[in-house]
Amino acid sequence: MPKNTYFIKDNVPKIEEVREIENEIPSYEEFMKNYKGDELVENSYQAEHEAKITRGPQYGPGRSDFSGLCRRIKDDLGGDLTCRISDDSDYFYSNRNYAGVIIYAVDGKFRWQFSNSHIGRSFSMIIKCADGWGSPGIGGFHASIIKDKFGIDLSYNNNSVCCGGFVWRDGTLRFNSYALNSVDQIGGSSDGSSELSYYEKRLVEYCFNEYKAKGPGSVISIPSYYLP
């Protein structure tokens, strides 16, 4: 008795079942009732908005001419560039919060000396623990660092220190400082954004990681690929 032979037909059309899932889109009023904004994000939007009003349209983050600034620093200092972590910096503990400043020039000069015997050069960095500071006053923590280090009060629109600001907060390195990054300074221009530019971020992140490992007073060699 012959066996039954079955053939699978590949050309038989398959049947697909499509169901419409009910998904009600809330009205704008309902959405706003439950919407919770991020205070940090909203503050940054407000700062950018104010900068656009006072300075006109913005075109990107941070120091708008950082490449040109680095070229001038290289031409002036020559040789291998370094970042020196100030002796006045605090030691790093991961559970604390810090505010930091990287300094490019003072009064347009890439080497400087003050009457308080402070001697420095471009890419110097000072990092201070911000816990327990209370209210830092006009310009925030970064302005307080500049005043303590150089005796320069930013509340009087004194922009003689060309620098960038950053913070270590809640275990994360952040690159914002409205007091420093969003204003034109002698030696460097800004487009009004409170955030460091791309290459500034790379440089600060590299130097900050070295600081965490080596501490205050350390001198950090800067690889050329960290500069534009």
Q: Tell me the sheet residues that pair with 172.
A: 169
- The residue count of the chain comes to 228
**Inside any domain, residue 10:** no
**Inside any domain, residue 36:** no
Question: What is the structure's pLDDT at 53?
Answer: 47
For 37-50, how does the pLDDT look when each residue is reduced to its tens digit (9 = 90+)? 444 444 444 444 44
Question: What is the structure's pLDDT at 81?
Answer: 93
- Tell me 85's DSSP state: B
In this prediction, the residues of the chain whose per-residue pLDDT falls under 50 are 6-8, 16, 18-21, 23, 25, 28, 31-32, 35-61, 137-138
How many structural domains does the chain have? 1
**Inside any domain, residue 9:** no
Range of the domain at 72: 59-226
Quick one: tokens of 74?
């290289």
Q: Tell me the sheet residues that pair with 185.
A: 188
Q: Tell me the sheet residues that pair with 111.
A: 121
Using DSSP's 3-state secondary structure scheme, residue 226 falls into: helix
**Inside any domain, residue 25:** no
**CB within 8 A of 24, min separation 6: which ones?**
none
Q: Where are the alpha helices (DSSP H) in the chain?
A: 28-34, 39-55, 66-77, 140-150, 178-181, 198-214
Q: Where are the alpha helices (DSSP H) in 78-197?
A: 140-150, 178-181
Q: Are 194 and 47 in contact (CB under 8 A)?
A: yes
Angle (nearest 5°) at CA 179 between 99 and 140: 50
pTM of the model: 0.69
Question: What is the structure's pLDDT at 115?
Answer: 62
**Inside any domain, residue 51:** no
For 125-144, how does the pLDDT look when each residue is reduced to its tens digit (9 = 90+)? 999 998 877 555 445 788 88
**Inside any domain, residue 174:** yes
Q: What phi, psi does 220 have (nearest 5°)?
A: -110, 120
**Inside any domain, residue 182:** yes
Question: What is the structure's pLDDT at 150?
Answer: 75
**Inside any domain, residue 187:** yes
Q: In the chain, how many H helices and how many E strands?
A: 6, 8
Mean pLDDT, the chain, rounded, equals 76
Q: Where are the alpha helices (DSSP H) in 92-221?
A: 140-150, 178-181, 198-214
> What is the distance, to the nearest Å, from the Cα of residue 63 to the centroid of all Cα atoms in its chain?
11
Q: Are 100 and 166 in contact (CB under 8 A)?
A: yes
